[in-house]
Amino acid sequence: MPITVDSVRMYYDENTNLFLKFSGHAKTQNIHRSLWMPDIKSLEDALNTSNALIKAEIESVAPQNARIADLGCGVGASLFYIHPRLHKPAPALGLTLSPVQANLARESAAELGLQNQINFAEGDFTCVPLPSESLDAVYSVEAVCHAVNPEQYFKEASRLLRKGGKLILVDDYQVARTFTKHEQKWLDAFIQGWHVPGVRTVAQTMSFAHKYQLNLERNDELTQHLRLRNLPDFLASAILFLGEKLTINHAILPSMLGSMALQQCLYMKIVEYRFLVFEK
């Protein structure tokens, strides 16, 4: 079944509340992955590691009055961490395809007293309601992978950024080699289950970015800081086979199968979790 913008929206509308319920830490409201760097001691800090990395890159390009947007913002967790820690930032934009996520983000912003500092909107990150060259930094965490046409994302990010501005990405990337039939099975299960047609290699990503005057300046692999939960292959394959035969009509089933497939992909080193920074 082809993945479309509408199917990605429905995937998050149906699953977001379940993701939050089982995210492991209610305080952060973070449905992204935790990163266990050597100095990280708590789950809350591990969930905010990527946010801290992004914040440092924003500060490097705009030490004060930073103008930023989170494209694919989920329920706003990254912005709630980053924006209050910046020095006199301008009001920020968080954009998500999902009306469920946008409403939850607005509710949280009001509870935190940030409703005048962070604006959340429902929309497509390939068509952002902001003027050209109006931002110092754009970032996305586990979001570009959902793009049906990832090249359009880079075109729009470049339009939004001023010269010298930064595009910051934390996401999954295919390794640049030919896959065996067995490896391709797991990659396909990940892509279909998590609705991530935009997963590309770093080289393909760089090609998209370079076309729109975005030059790669940082490329860090973060996979080693994940706590993988891969299963023995025979067991995972059996679960995938049975799961694909079930007739449960809810997006949580393919999501669970996709999550299992991602763990297998990361363990087999056919997918890597990376931190990329581009400068315009």
The CATH number covering residue 123 comes to: 3.40.50.150
Does residue 249 belong to any structural domain of this protein?
no
Does residue 129 belong to any structural domain of this protein?
yes
Burial 207-216 (b: 16+ CB within 10 A, else e): ebbeebebee
pLDDT at 244: 86
Provide the number of structural domains found in the chain.
1
Residue 250 banded pLDDT, cuts 50, 70, 90 = confident
The residue range of the domain holding 213 is 5-174+197-228+270-279
pLDDT at 183 over 90: yes
pLDDT at 20 over 90: no
194-245 tens-digit pLDDT: 999 999 999 999 999 999 999 999 999 999 999 999 999 999 999 998 988 8
Residue 141 is which amino acid?
V
pLDDT at 243: 87
* C-alpha–C-alpha distance, residues 198 and 255, integer Å: 16
pLDDT at 3 over 80: yes
pLDDT at 113 over 70: yes
Indicate the SS3 state at residue 247.
coil
Does residue 185 belong to any structural domain of this protein?
no
Does residue 252 belong to any structural domain of this protein?
no
Burial 39-65 (b: 16+ CB within 10 A, else e): ebeebebbbbbbbebbbebbbebbeee
pLDDT at 106 over 60: yes
- Which among 102, 142, 137 is positioned nearest to 122, based on CA atoms? 102
**Mean pLDDT value of segment 172-187:** 97
Residue whose structure tokens are 């797991």: 186
Residue 196 is which amino acid?
V
Does residue 120 belong to any structural domain of this protein?
yes
* C-alpha–C-alpha distance, residues 134 and 65, integer Å: 12
What does residue 163 show for φ and ψ, rounded to 5 degrees? -60, 130
pTM across the whole model: 0.95
pLDDT at 28 over 90: no
pLDDT at 18 over 80: yes
Does residue 36 belong to any structural domain of this protein?
yes
Residue whose structure tokens are 């890597």: 272
Does residue 239 belong to any structural domain of this protein?
no
Residue 100 banded pLDDT, cuts 50, 70, 90 = very high
Residue 242 is which amino acid?
L
pLDDT at 148: 96
* C-alpha–C-alpha distance, residues 72 and 126, integer Å: 10
pLDDT at 27: 53
pLDDT at 31: 77
pLDDT above 70 as % of the chain: 98
pLDDT at 26 over 60: no
- Of residues 24 and 112, more confidence is placed in 112
Does residue 213 belong to any structural domain of this protein?
yes
